[in-house]
Amino acid sequence: MVLKKQRIILGFKIKKPQIIGIIVALIIIILSFIFLRESDIFYFLLGISFVIAGLPFFISLIVESSASREKEEMFLEFSRNLVESVKAGTPISRSILNIRSKDYGSLSPYIQKLANQISLGIPVKTSLETFARDIKSQTITRAVTIISESEKAGGRIEDVLDSVAKSVAQIEKLRKERSAAMYNLIVQGYIIFLIFIVIMLVMQFKILPIASGLGETLGETQSSEYGVGFGGLLGMGGEKATPEQLARPFLVLLIVQGFFAGLVIGKLSEGKIKAGLKHSFILILLAVLIGTGAKLFIG
């Protein structure tokens, strides 16, 4: 029960590829701890294990996002066909049965289920509510609610269906326009993050060694004058901190920055926090691979 609640909150269904990815990542981490803990390749392998564990979730998110967009586009086509049929004088229940054989892509199974429920005598309002609940799209849910309430109240259902179809078309148009308008912002977000990574690398491999050497020089000077090493102030227990120790928080900083920057990019471009998870994965992937790879090949 707890696992099901976590799946709903996280928005992911844990399937076989995700489980395999996590197991392989854990095996790499365990072997790295056992055999390569003191090696420079250790952190790079940790980054690779993160990629292996997160890649199935990333692919699943991309597939679900594409399927959701296709469903909304096909629902627009379904609404238009339904409007034409109802305007010809066919009741909405019969119209749904007549157009269910058409190809609506990933939306077809849901329309088939909707038509089957109506053919079994289930009220149109109840069938439409089940249809919207299965698809889990806010746009489709709002449209179906309007259609079901109008069908229940009676009146000129063809006018309501026509208005709903135009509304869905307008929403799709605005979504595409927003995505196009935000494209430059997305590119800028990635460029800014890459510049941030470069700054961290310069600090890690250029500035910190100089600062450490300067601190060591000052420590020797003050030690000769006052008997206290200034370099000891950089570490704990009187031990001076090495550049590697000072650089360890940088990777964590890059990961945190990449995660939240990706969420912001997704929210601005698609209007959904969940959509930003794929951007977060890409940015964290860049941070981990570049950060650990630089330590392996440069440091």
CB count, 10 Å around CB of 201? 19
Percent of the chain with pLDDT over 90: 2
Nearest partner of 161 among 72, 96, 105, judged by Cα: 96
Q: Report, as an integer, the average pLDDT of 193-198.
A: 89
pLDDT at 185: 81
Mean pLDDT of 177-198: 84
Spacing of C-alpha 208 from chain mean position: 34
Find out whether 286 and 194 touch, Cβ atoms under 8 Å.
yes
Q: Say what the pLDDT of residue 1 is.
A: 36
Share of the chain above pLDDT 70, in %: 79
Q: What pLDDT, on a 0 to 100 scale, did the predictor assign at position 238? A: 46
Q: What is the pLDDT of residue 203?
A: 83
| Structure confidence by residue, pLDDT tens digits, 100-131 | 888 888 888 998 998 899 888 888 888 888 88
Cα–Cα distance for residue pair 269/262, rounded to 1 Å: 10
In order of start, what are the domains of the chain with their CATH numbers?
Answer: 69-172 (1.20.81), 182-217+241-299 (no CATH)
Q: For residue 21, what pLDDT band results from cuts at 50, 70 and 90? A: confident
How do residues 8-18 score in pLDDT, each as one tens digit?
A: 444 556 778 88
The band of 6, judged by pLDDT with boundaries at 50, 70 and 90, is very low
* pLDDT band per the 50, 70, 90 thresholds, residue 294: confident
**Digit-coded pLDDT (tens) for 211-270:** 766 655 545 554 444 444 444 444 444 456 666 666 677 778 888 888 898 888 888 877
Mean pLDDT of all residues belonging to the chain: 77
The tokens of 22 are what? 């996590």
pLDDT at residue 41 is higher than 80 = no
Residue with tokens 């179809």: 165
Residue 91 backbone class (left: φ over 0; alpha: ψ -120 to 50; beta: rest): beta
Q: Would the pLDDT of 170 be above 60?
A: yes
3-state SS, one letter per residue, for 161-180: HHHHHHHHHHHHHHHHHHHH
Q: Please spell the DSSP secondary structure of 59-114, one letter per residue.
A: HHHHHHHHHHHHHHHHHHHHHHHHHHHHHTT--HHHHHHHHTTS--GGGHHHHHHH
